[in-house]
C-alpha cells in the first residue's frame, strides 16, 4: 500500500458523506500492525482530526 502525503493548509469545514465506519491502522510495539474498525452511528458532527 503506497502512502500518499498531500500537504494542505486550512480547516476542514464539513465532510459530506455517509460514513459507516472508520478504519484505523495502528502499529503496537511488540504486537505488530493491527487494524481497528470504529463503527460510526448517527452523524459525525464534532468528529475531531
Mean pLDDT of 26-47: 73
Report the C-alpha gap between 43 and 20 in whole angstroms: 10
Report the C-alpha gap between 32 and 29 in whole angstroms: 6
Query: For the chain, what is the mean pLDDT?
Result: 73
Categorize the per-residue pLDDT at 46 as very low, low, confident or very high, splitting at 50, 70 and 90: low
What the block records as the C-alpha cell of 1 is 500500500
Q: Name the more confident of 48 and 12.
A: 12
Domain locations in the chain? 1-49
**Cell 468528529 belongs to residue:** 47
Give residue-wise pLDDT tens across range 3-21.
Answer: 878 777 887 777 667 777 7
Amino acid at each position: 500500500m503506497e502512502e500518499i502525503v498531500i500537504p494542505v493548509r486550512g480547516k476542514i469545514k464539513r465532510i459530506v458523506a455517509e460514513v459507516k465506519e472508520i478504519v484505523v491502522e495502528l502499529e503496537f510495539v511488540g504486537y505488530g500492525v493491527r487494524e481497528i474498525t470504529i463503527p460510526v452511528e448517527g452523524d459525525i458532527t464534532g468528529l475531531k482530526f
